[in-house]
Structure 1
Amino acid sequence: MQTQELHAELISDKRDAKHTRKRNALKRIVANMTMGNDMLPLFADVVACLQIPMLEVKKMVYLYLIHYARSRPQLAADAISDFLRDLADPNPLIRALALRTMASIQTPQIIDSLQQPLARCLEDSDAYVAKTAALCVAKVWVQDRERIQSSGTLNLLHNLLSHENPNVVANALVALAEIYQRDGSDHLPQLVVEYSAMSKYLVALDEASEWSQAYILESILFVVPQSHADAEQLAERIVPRLQHANSGIVLTTIRVLAYLTHYIEAKEVVSRIYAKMEPPLITLLHSEPEIQFVALKNIQLLIKKQADMFKSLGAKPFFCKYSDPIYVKLAKLEIIFHLTDDYNVEQVLTEVEEYANEVDVGFARRSLRTLGRIAIKIELATDRCVAALRRLIETQVNYIVQEAIVVIRDIFRKYPNRYEGMIAVLCDNLAGLDEPEARAAMIWIIGQYAERIDNASDLLNQFAATFLESAAEVQLALLTATVKLFIKRPSAGQALLPRILKHCTEDVDNPDIRDRGFIYWRLLSTDPVAAKAIVLSQKPVMNVEGESMEPALLEDLILHIATLSNPELAGLYLSRRPAVHRRLAGLADGRAGNSRPATRH
């Protein structure tokens, strides 16, 4: 019934000079379409409204066309004559709107009829039409790259780089970057922007919109400085953008500065550039939580790249506020760990211990882990960390106790035979252990110090009672701990070991557990001396979790600051490295500025 009413309104011949009825009908159609109601039966009536010479009406009709044209490509083709008429309209807004709509529909008939108008709009005298046409070239390239290349449209797009309007230049740069990175073949050479051209673009930055400023800055990633002086000069010219109110421009500037530092030899200059990034990043921490999170995740990358960043400020600017969302708190906690050193460790430990008493269980657990990581990272703070963990265990909060056991296991691995006094405290809290990781950690401690725990056999028997119902990591830990007990105290372990080996080799389906059971059984049966040497061998050095990152991966991620390529914001690695990253690989080999043939602008 509603469709019939709208149809009647759209074809009404009643006198209406301002087309109020049709405008209201179109608004209702767009609203229904947005809510998912089927408005396709009105396709012909809506397209007929393109005859109305009003921008508001055309916007709604074009929105309708984009929504439905792909399901009815033939009906969309019937509107081509209306599109072409609007492309010749004296109003530049209508010309740009028609062009953008045609490029968005992307049916074969529309693409075919778009070629000549697109070339004409690229040379349009109006800057708004020209910058719209630039982006449309990138859209059409996805569907018909051969025609774009053979028709000379790509050359017209290159010509826009010398346009007097900075917003047009920015759109042309964006379109070219998209085209060259999407190509994925040798049809197009590597895109490189000339240093001299870049200097001209930077002069126009103050006149460009914020969106255009961000993309003009980003285009520096396609500049290959031919000398260290060129790189330093470019860096100095864009450093003032760090003070911009727009967080996108700030983060883009940081990304570009990080790229330029690859071409600068003087370490003091590089350190000075990174130091200038610190105040704007701290300022972003006073923004909305979402912006704070993006800033924090990128700060983590920068600290991994430049270890001395924020050292002068210390960890205090990153201390958590009670009102921070949990995702911001967790990001801050990671940065606090990286910035902890011998000078501020006392202050940090006091703060992190307080976090471990938070009501949010996830944050409290992560804080406990951070205490352990600090103890492993800074030996001078280990005694203080262990004392803090003891106090937290005494609270008798179950999840705190279980997390603390995992943390203390790692401390024992890093500093063997130093904190055995904690073993008695841990053994008093076995009753509440129900998490696999905590149970496995406690079993490891019992096995590692079996010769010093008088009732080690009884404790392991408690865990063995539920062996078949336990998680695989608990079963593996119990198997190894029982073998250690037998090797260190044969009389205490001789009753338990056969039972555990029988479970592992006969009652368990997990191949890892079964194979390890057979290995231990044969070792103990054939060569007990070798078994002792293997089971009680020197443990690998305990490293701090998350301290390092593969250099190539870090370089890629640094060049994608403020994008979804950050490992915490999206996927961990890129399926294809763009040309700019290949140039950095060449730079690392001493071939900067002399890479494969490039298209320069």
Structure 2
Amino acid sequence: MSTPAKGAPGFFSSQNKRSEINEWRLMLSNEKEGVRKDAVKKVIAAMTVGKDVQMLFSDVVKCVQTNNIELKKLVYLYIMNYAKTQPDLAILAVNTFEKDATHPNPLIRGLAVRTMGCIRVGKIVEYLADPLRRAIKDKDPYVRKTSAVAIAKLFDIDKQMAIEQGFIESLHELLTDPNPMVVANAVKALSEIAENSEQVTLDFTPDIIRTLGAALNECTEWGQVFILDALSTYNPRDEKEALEISDRVVPRLQHANSAVVLSSVKVILRMMRWVGNADEVKNLSKKMSAPLVTLLSSEPEIQYVALRNIDLIVQRRPGILAKDIKMFFCKYNDPIYVKLEKLEIMIKLASERNIDTVLLEFKEYATEVDVEFVRRSVRAIGRCAIKLERAAQKCIDVLLDLILTKVNYVVQEAIIVIKDIFRRYPNRYEKIIGTLCANLETLDEPEAKASMIWIIGEYAGNIENADELLEIFVETFHDETPQVQLQLLTATMKLFLRRPEVTQDLVKQVLKLCTDESENPDLRDRGYVYWRLLLSDPAAAKNIVLAEKPVISDDTSTLPKNILDDLINHIATLSSVYHKSPELFVSDYKKKSSTLPNRSPSPPPSQSNQDVFGTSQQQLPPPTTTTNKSTDLLGGLDELLGGITTTAPIPTSRQSHPSDDPFGLDSMMMPDSNYQQSSSSPMVKSIPKNLLLSAQKGQGLEIYGAVVNQQGSIKYSLSLSNQSQQTLTGFAVKFNQNCWGLAPTGPLNCPALYPGQTENVMLPLGRQSQANTTKKNNILQVAIKTPQFPQPVYFQDKFNMTVLFENHGKLGEQDFLNAWGSLPDELATELVPTQPGWNKEDVRGVLAGHNVFYVANHSDQTAVNYYYSAKFVFDGQEYVVVMELMFPNGSNRFNLSVKIADMTFAAVISENISSLLLQ
């Protein structure tokens, strides 16, 4: 009778014998290789489940002297796990590693090099250089591809050694290896190294690009992804090269792996920026449409990732999928997260040609059982109406049909949507108000009630029984949410100002409820404002409350252009799924720009035009405050408001709560009564606002902003949006210590933010005398707090450094030459592609608006060079910046070179200047 074979589970079933360590030790010293292999397996199994077996280190290491690859792998695995805790004993295996690195079997040679790279012990790393150098030149491609990965690991452990020993140059040589897998590993290793080092860049030449393109056809699927990601960082020399790269990549669009498809799309989209021929662009777009649609037949998880990427592509180039909108129709068995993404894309692809089909689809969705999906579908109809003016009537007809279904949540969502349509197209569709009012008593959701009240107040002049409709809500005033109460107060004021003779009792009742009986500070404040307006200047009250509202805009493309372009460059990564730039969620992410070899500029000519096309703007005087003592236009206001308290209560001081407050915000909290509307002069040149804080991370507060320079005054231009369901008040802000000493010189004067409201504010900034100079960068770390937040919210912002440039930074020609010659030879270079319609003659005006001054120009048969200068102060010292912009003849890109005494600033300045020119 044969005994059962020992399966893998047997190694993990410990019998907890007290003598098992001694038993394993005896087995490890056994002469039979099979016994030693079983012993090592048992040790590895014990190590895997968390048992400490490091006392067997010397016994296991002895087993490495074998030609059995399986046993050798097990021993190497054990050594890698315990080398950190037993560095001295790990040295015992070095001789074996070096010996195996010259073994006739390439698998063993590769295994030795890979294991030495995985052992993160300084003493072992010292012995890695020679075996790794031999592995790079090995005749077997398996060993060479293993050496490429080992170089990346070596760089992670000891950057200086990897650079000094010339391994980075060796890695560049592997890019031209005849074996495609070696090329793929070398590309991936270089990419990882470049992401973590400012000293190493992916500087590909056209020859290397051709090698990478040829290797695509023979690589594994993940090797293709590595190569495609590297190609997506390359800036082609001209349109012809961009088309050549695209032609190489197009066959990858038919790959079965979705990662390969998305990476190919990323490369083609980047190359299309250099293609000016409309027919070629159309051809490439057509080739991408079918593969993108094919991704929607995959598993739901892959569909979701594909849809998030397609969402970005559609915002950037909607023509790619304009004719494939039916492919995004939702299936009955799609998960809710897939359905919602398809809805977003359908809204973006909706046009006057396909709106009838889209509306029929949305109407069908509104009859499903998933309440959240139904709400989103109804809201999608409204967004299509806002986006397409000619189709607005069709959208409203569909919404009216849905209201007639009498389904409670459908009716309420439709009313919310119609309110937005009224704001988009005022005084155009008021005929449907009667249908809306017929459903008044069915409303039970705060947002729907607030929307209906807004409609009644806005069109009170057209609704005969508007006062009776508002009285329905007044009866349950104290049971309503603050959102409804605020809207009811404003609607009552609108009705009173239009029809004062029949609504005096109603407005008196509502004002009394708001000021005397409400505990909500925002409601009380607004009530007192309205009351004082009516008493002091009814005409002004009418002008303010009944003023024309700004027309809302289409929110289909929610991402600013600069953020969208950045996300397009990160397609097929988490960044494109989150719709956030990598630096927002990846710690220590370094955003690097492509660089060019150092070169010396052509000397500026002796005589040149010194004009600076700057735009001067005068400081606007602050508005004067006057008291208008007009007659009582509405009659009897003193008597009407006589029963209401005539003095607003003094705000009580807020009591700070102990919390994690590294910015010291509790001492900065300001009551709302301190708010003053500041008047600011227009900016010399606008800098686009970036998303600084998302609503998800900001507890409902979303912030876009940019640091700007207004006539020499540095300010933070912020747009604060309240996406939560509560009113946000009493904002306080504080900066963490930064190398520029930038800090607020006044409070964040923002009025109360009601749900869904957005306010633009200017925060004045100044430079403190003491600055943190340990890290030189252009990053601001900011904290904001309100009484409604249990903890402060934090964000960081990479501001444009040109806002700190002085207005006296212009140099003469000789001073420029002297400065260029005296500064270090090192250059920060940036290769910048231009957009269609970009005019290089406008460069002077754009840069002059940011205190970057034109000095001279020089042209020859190959290029036109422009020279600029700027100055800024850092840590009490003035720095001179000299720049050269070279426009090669016949090229759709330009080279920007920057020199400065402290090259720490050069890369930042180069990146910021190029971003200004491409706005």
TM over 0.5: yes
User: CA contact under 8 A between 1:356 and 1:365: conserved in structure 2?
Assistant: yes
What is the alpha-carbon distance in structure 1 between the residues aligned to residue 475 and residue 578 of structure 2?
41
1:594 is the counterpart of 2:904: no
Distance 1:39 1:380, change over 3 A: same
| Number of residue pairs matched by the alignment | 592
User: CA contact under 8 A between 1:96 and 1:132: conserved in structure 2?
Assistant: yes
Correspondence for 1:234? 245
User: CA contact under 8 A between 1:224 and 1:593: conserved in structure 2?
Assistant: no
1:182-221 aligned within 5 A: 182-183=196-197, 185=198, 187-188=199-200, 190-221=201-232
Q: Secondary structure of the residue that 2:452 maps to in structure 1?
A: helix
What is the alpha-carbon distance in structure 2 between the residues aligned to residue 217 and residue 369 of structure 1?
39
User: CA contact under 8 A between 2:314 and 2:320: conserved in structure 1?
Assistant: yes
Correspondence for 2:415? 405
1:511-550 aligned within 5 A: 512-550=522-560
Distance 1:466 1:330, change over 3 A: same
1:304 is the counterpart of 2:315: yes
Correspondence for 2:592? 578
Deviations 1:7-44 (A, max 9, x none): 3553234997775555455556555655x543455662
Amino acid at match of 1:137: I
Structure 1 range deviating more: 20-29 or 142-151: 20-29
Distance 1:375 1:224, change over 3 A: closer
* Candidates 157, 160, 165, aligned match of 2:174: 160
Deviations 1:174-202 (A, max 9, x none): 2112222321x3x34x4321112211332
What is the alpha-carbon distance in structure 2 between the residues aligned to residue 482 and residue 93 of structure 1?
83
Correspondence for 2:462? 452
Deviations 1:293-348 (A, max 9, x none): 2222222211211132222x241121111122222212211121122222221111
What is the alpha-carbon distance in structure 2 between the residues aligned to residue 59 and residue 484 of structure 1?
81
1:57-206 aligned within 5 A: 57-67=71-81, 69-70=83-84, 79-183=93-197, 185=198, 187-188=199-200, 190-206=201-217
1:346 is the counterpart of 2:356: yes
1:377 is the counterpart of 2:387: yes
Tell me by how many angstroms 1:535 deviates.
Answer: 1.8
User: CA contact under 8 A between 1:314 and 1:344: conserved in structure 2?
Assistant: no
Correspondence for 1:259? 270
Tell me by how many angstroms 1:463 deviates.
Answer: 3.4
Distance 1:237 1:428, change over 3 A: same
Correspondence for 1:50? 64
Amino acid at match of 1:182: N
What is the alpha-carbon distance in structure 2 between the residues aligned to residue 437 and residue 201 of structure 1?
56
Distance 1:427 1:555, change over 3 A: same
Distance 1:132 1:475, change over 3 A: farther
Deviations 1:229-255 (A, max 9, x none): 221222223222222233222211111
Deviations 1:112-171 (A, max 9, x none): 443333333222322112212212222332332122112222122122122221211121
Correspondence for 1:287? 298
User: CA contact under 8 A between 2:196 and 2:590: conserved in structure 1?
Assistant: no
Tell me by how many angstroms 1:559 deviates.
Answer: 1.2
1:268 is the counterpart of 2:279: yes
1:423-462 aligned within 5 A: 423-462=433-472
User: CA contact under 8 A between 1:96 and 1:128: conserved in structure 2?
Assistant: yes
User: CA contact under 8 A between 1:161 and 1:173: conserved in structure 2?
Assistant: yes
What is the alpha-carbon distance in structure 1 between the residues aligned to residue 833 and residue 576 of structure 2?
23
Structure 1 range deviating more: 191-200 or 250-259: 191-200
Correspondence for 1:358? 368
Q: Secondary structure of the residue that 2:353 maps to in structure 1?
A: coil
Tell me by how many angstroms 1:565 deviates.
Answer: 1.0
User: CA contact under 8 A between 2:831 and 2:895: conserved in structure 1?
Assistant: no
Distance 1:542 1:264, change over 3 A: same
What is the alpha-carbon distance in structure 1 between the residues aligned to residue 333 and residue 19 of structure 2?
52
Q: Secondary structure of the residue that 1:565 maps to in structure 2?
A: helix
* Candidates 337, 343, 346, aligned match of 1:336: 346
1:38 is the counterpart of 2:51: yes
Quick check: which one's helix share is greater?
1
Q: Secondary structure of the residue that 1:594 maps to in structure 2?
A: strand
What is the alpha-carbon distance in structure 2 between the residues aligned to residue 507 and residue 40 of structure 1?
73
User: CA contact under 8 A between 1:122 and 1:156: conserved in structure 2?
Assistant: yes
What is the alpha-carbon distance in structure 2 between the residues aligned to residue 584 and residue 463 of structure 1?
63
Give RMSD over aligned pairs: 3.2
Structure 1 range deviating more: 569-578 or 537-546: 569-578
What is the alpha-carbon distance in structure 1 between the residues aligned to residue 85 and residue 467 of structure 2?
72
Quick check: which one's strand share is greater?
2
Q: Secondary structure of the residue that 1:322 maps to in structure 2?
A: coil
What is the alpha-carbon distance in structure 2 between the residues aligned to residue 239 and residue 77 of structure 1?
50
Amino acid at match of 1:494: Q
Structure 1: gaps of 5 or more residues: none
User: CA contact under 8 A between 1:195 and 1:224: conserved in structure 2?
Assistant: no
Give TM-score scaled by structure 2 length: 0.59
Structure 2: gaps of 5 or more residues: 1-14, 596-828, 841-886, 888-892, 899-919
What is the alpha-carbon distance in structure 1 between the residues aligned to residue 574 and residue 554 of structure 2?
27
Structure 1 range deviating more: 275-284 or 134-143: 134-143
Tell me by how many angstroms 1:282 deviates.
Answer: 1.5
User: CA contact under 8 A between 1:40 and 1:68: conserved in structure 2?
Assistant: no
What is the alpha-carbon distance in structure 2 between the residues aligned to residue 146 and residue 572 of structure 1?
27
Amino acid at match of 2:204: V
What is the alpha-carbon distance in structure 2 between the residues aligned to residue 587 and residue 151 of structure 1?
39
Q: Secondary structure of the residue that 2:151 maps to in structure 1?
A: helix
Deviations 1:418-467 (A, max 9, x none): 43344344334444534332232222122212233344334434434555
Amino acid at match of 1:243: Q
Distance 1:273 1:14, change over 3 A: closer
What is the alpha-carbon distance in structure 1 between the residues aligned to residue 379 and residue 399 of structure 2?
10
Correspondence for 2:336? 326
Amino acid at match of 2:374: A
Tell me by how many angstroms 1:2 deviates.
Answer: 3.1
What is the alpha-carbon distance in structure 1 between the residues aligned to residue 53 and residue 522 of structure 2?
59
Correspondence for 1:278? 289
Tell me by how many angstroms 1:556 deviates.
Answer: 1.0
Higher relative contact order (CA 8 A, sep 6+): 1
Correspondence for 1:489? 499
Q: Secondary structure of the residue that 1:191 maps to in structure 2?
A: coil
Amino acid at match of 1:139: K
User: CA contact under 8 A between 2:378 and 2:417: conserved in structure 1?
Assistant: yes
What is the alpha-carbon distance in structure 2 between the residues aligned to residue 65 and residue 430 of structure 1?
75
Amino acid at match of 2:143: V
Q: Secondary structure of the residue that 2:460 maps to in structure 1?
A: coil
Amino acid at match of 1:536: L
Give TM-score scaled by structure 1 length: 0.88
Distance 1:158 1:573, change over 3 A: closer
Structure 1 range deviating more: 163-172 or 228-237: 228-237
